[in-house]
Amino acid sequence: IAGITQAPTSQILAAGRRMTLRCTQDMRHNAMYWYRQDLGLGLRLIHYSNTAGTTGKGEVPDGYSVSRANTDDFPLTLASAVPSQTSVYFCASTPSPGTTEAFFGQGTRLTVV
């Protein structure tokens, strides 16, 4: 693993199903983030974690949950997917919150049908 990795790269999901998007980084960054990107709306923050063991809500947290059990992993869970959660999801990390460059994963394209 080099940098930040997301899995899967794409997924078609039936509405009502549970889904976990995985994000792993090997840079020992303290802060990690989940964004969704929709046409015309840009990147919007879903949840963030400034250090292992802590999480916070972003701009659009409803329907999503996260955990940060260790420094490297920051999974995003959709408990019961709805079509409005169709989007491209990006995981990102920074060495420290906000003041340095954010590194992005390659994205997960999720379609909820």
Where does this chain bind another protein (CB under 8 A)? 31, 33, 35, 40-45, 48-50, 56-59, 90, 92, 97-102, 104-107
Q: How far is the CB of 15 from another protein (least distance, A)?
A: 25
| Nearer to another protein (CB atom), residue 14 or residue 42 | 42
| Nearer to another protein (CB atom), residue 16 or residue 56 | 56
Integer Cα distance of 69 and 14 in angstroms:
28
Q: Which two tokens stand for residue 51?
A: 């250090």
* Residue count of the chain: 113
Q: How far is the CB of 17 from another protein (least distance, A)?
A: 25
Integer Cα distance of 29 and 67 in angstroms:
15
Q: Within 13 Å of residue 23, how many CA atoms lie on the same side as its CB?
A: 32
| Nearer to another protein (CB atom), residue 13 or residue 88 | 88
Q: How far is the CB of 89 from another protein (least distance, A)?
A: 11
Q: How far is the CB of 16 from another protein (least distance, A)?
A: 28
Integer Cα distance of 6 and 73 in angstroms:
10
